[in-house]
Amino acid sequence: MNTKFIQLNNSIIKCKKCTRLINFAKKISKKKRKQNINDTYWGKPVPGFGDLKARLMIVGLAPAAHGGTRTGRAFTGDKSGDFLFKCLHSVKISNQPFSNDLYDSLKLNSVYITNILKCAPPGDKPNINELSNCSNYFDNEISNLKSLKVIITLGKVAFDNCIKFYKKNYLINKKFIFKHGKKYNLPDGKTLIACYHPSPRNVNTKIINLKMMKNLFIIAKKIF
């Protein structure tokens, strides 16, 4: 890992800007689910991870309360992650179809995975000031991934906050509307693709399925 990312990730892990989120992480870590009762929870902000020469960035909203907040890695140890990594493995982007913990030998091929918010918000509903506090970390991730060509946002909040980054740094007049599979050409030459979040609710109600998400990754691979 290069020096910039070591410094960035250390800053994320040590961050205490949002008292509500820090307290929620501590509460989760003490009040564990039955199936994780013997686990030692990470209980801190969760940095992104993956290939630092990534051409594809996958962006979610926040680490899951008993997923990333427990394991210390985004989309690791929760049902959304289970769905995501099945898809990534099927299109040869990851070396295995699961992500259980920090030491499970997962390797990503030209992909970096992160969240807009580095801490789990109560009820999956972040406050505007919490998103604002975290925005600098996301900005740095995009800026430091020098080979980045495609960004896939999982869910509308991730999509909207990715657009905020570009509107802050570039003069953009066109309107961006979240729609699954919709592609946008960004002013720095990257391509943004909107995707439904692979949450259990969206999967169970068939808003998204394996074929839909796999197709987006196939499209992304053709671009980068």
Query: CATH number for the domain including 131?
Result: 3.40.470.10
148's CB contacts (< 8 A; 6+ apart) are 54, 55, 56, 57, 112, 142, 190
Residues of the chain with pLDDT under 50: none
pLDDT value, residue 211: 96
pLDDT in tens, 155-187: 999 999 999 999 998 888 889 999 999 999 999
Owner of token pair 């979610």: 60
pLDDT value, residue 45: 98
Write down the pTM of the prediction.
0.96
Give the residues across from 49 on adjacent strands: 113
* Sheet hosting strand 183-185, strand order edge to edge: 49-50, 111-115, 56-60, 150-154, 191-195, 183-185
Domain that holds residue 146: 3-223
pLDDT value, residue 165: 92
pLDDT value, residue 47: 97
* Measured distance CA(7)–CA(11) in Å, rounded: 6
Q: How many folded domains does the chain comprise? A: 1
pLDDT value, residue 88: 98
